[in-house]
Amino acid sequence: MKKKTMKLASLFFAATVALSMLSGCGDSSGKEASEENVSGSTSAEKAEESAEQTGEEPAISDEAIIKAAAKAGKVGNWGLGNEYEVLALLEKYGLPTEYLSEDFTMDGFDDDSITLASAMTYNELGLVQNDYDGGYGYGDSVGIIDMNDQGVAMLEDNIFCTRKFTEENPNTVAAFLYASLKGWEYAVANPDEAAEICYKYGSSVSAEHQAYMAKEVAKLVTTDMSGNTVSDIGKIDDTAMEQTLDIAKKYVTLDDSDANTALQAITLDDIRETSFFETAKASDGSFDVEKPEVSIQLKWLPQAQFMGYYVALDKGYYEKAGLTVKIVSGGGDIAETTAVNNGTVDFGVTWVTNLASANAGGMDLVEIAQIYQKSGLVLVYKPENFQ
């Protein structure tokens, strides 16, 4: 396999930097088959069932792959706050919670120095599978272990603001949420168009990868951790949030001992508010907003990870709700929780873990909608390395 090197435009890098700065270490209906949640090979367990039916040599199980890679010391992750799901997975199988540090390429996967590598379905997975510019071209030969299937998934991108802002500007919060959700609904129904809109607003990745990313992000927005189709985009799933919070409490270590103690005491009521979602869903789109000009801080550069906001802006949904909205790119040392907390911006996009850690450190942030309903983190491997 020809080796290609590329600095990945890792869309969660800014969020992980923000978390590392903070922590110091770092109505659903219908059923979709879990193998439709990600592109590429089905899990080894499903392959094993298929092999039994066809009489072929059975594939090695996910558990055996995880244990073999861990024993060889070749499980990879970026750290900086991305590692908690991997730590929970290793502990699930009674393995030492150690991993190799991945850089922001997939070269370690390519040269086999990492045989079980972390990848986001909407980013690195596309690069190892596809052969467009920056891709590694492994196609459907790549094996995938999904954190959602393993029961160790954590929720990612949400919309949040300060609790004080919700109290002082309730109509503005409802209007912003109403228009943003319309943007997301349109984006997931029209991912190719949404990708083009993101590219127009300054995409940080190629048009081909942007189109791939939009389709994969749509799956994370419309499918929950159990594989059920989500019809109410943005609805807060308390069960998924509780699972995320439980894993965070177990594995997140904050520099401040008082913050660590505070994190253990945090409940869902401390980090989410569902009334604005209900108000937005019941609205006819007319709002008497208190603050007509607002802004939202992203976690990274313009790309399909945030396509709902760009679609809402481009289609005029914010304007129709009585708002002028500025979308602020993330990146570098920008911490979205800090930017929202100090009033630099009004809204932000972050992870549940980030928000809980920020509140443990003294902020008073509140999630008002959960855009991603499942984790995008998977572990990828070459099946031939485990035969």
- In terms of pLDDT, which residue wins out, 39 or 379? 379
* Tens digit of each residue's pLDDT (9 = 90 or more) over 73-105: 999 999 988 999 999 999 999 999 999 999 989
Amino acid 134: pLDDT? 87
Whether 366 shows a pLDDT value over 60: the answer reads: yes
Amino acid 32: pLDDT? 36
Overall pTM surpassing 0.95 (yes/no): no
Amino acid 40: pLDDT? 45
Amino acid 21: pLDDT? 38
The terminus-to-terminus CA distance of the chain in angstroms comes to 19
Amino acid 331: pLDDT? 78
DSSP 58: P
Give residues with Cβ within 8 angstroms of 297, minimum separation 6: 328, 330, 334, 336, 339, 340, 344, 345, 347, 348, 349
Q: H or E stretch including 120?
A: strand 117-120
Longest dimension (CA), the chain: 67
> Looking at residues 342-356, what average pLDDT do you find?
97
Whether 22 shows a pLDDT value over 50: the answer reads: no
Residue of 113, 317, 327, 297 whose CA lies nearest to 201: 327
* Tens digit of each residue's pLDDT (9 = 90 or more) over 302-319: 999 999 999 999 999 999
* Tens digit of each residue's pLDDT (9 = 90 or more) over 33-80: 333 334 444 455 555 565 556 556 567 899 999 999 999 999 999 998
Average pLDDT, the chain: 88
Whether 247 shows a pLDDT value over 60: the answer reads: yes
pLDDT band at 137 (very low <50, low <70, confident <90, very high): very high
Share of the chain above pLDDT 70, in %: 85
* Tens digit of each residue's pLDDT (9 = 90 or more) over 140-172: 999 999 999 999 999 999 999 999 999 999 999
> Looking at residues 268-281, what average pLDDT do you find?
97
Sheet holding 143-146, edge to edge: 117-120, 377-381, 143-146
Question: How deeply is 53 buried, as exposed, middle or buried, from its count of CB atoms within 10 A (0-12, 13-18, 19+)?
Answer: exposed
DSSP 223: B
Q: Map tokens 């600095």 to a residue.
A: 7
Amino acid 49: pLDDT? 60
For the chain, how big is the Rg over CA atoms in Å? 20
pLDDT band at 2 (very low <50, low <70, confident <90, very high): very low
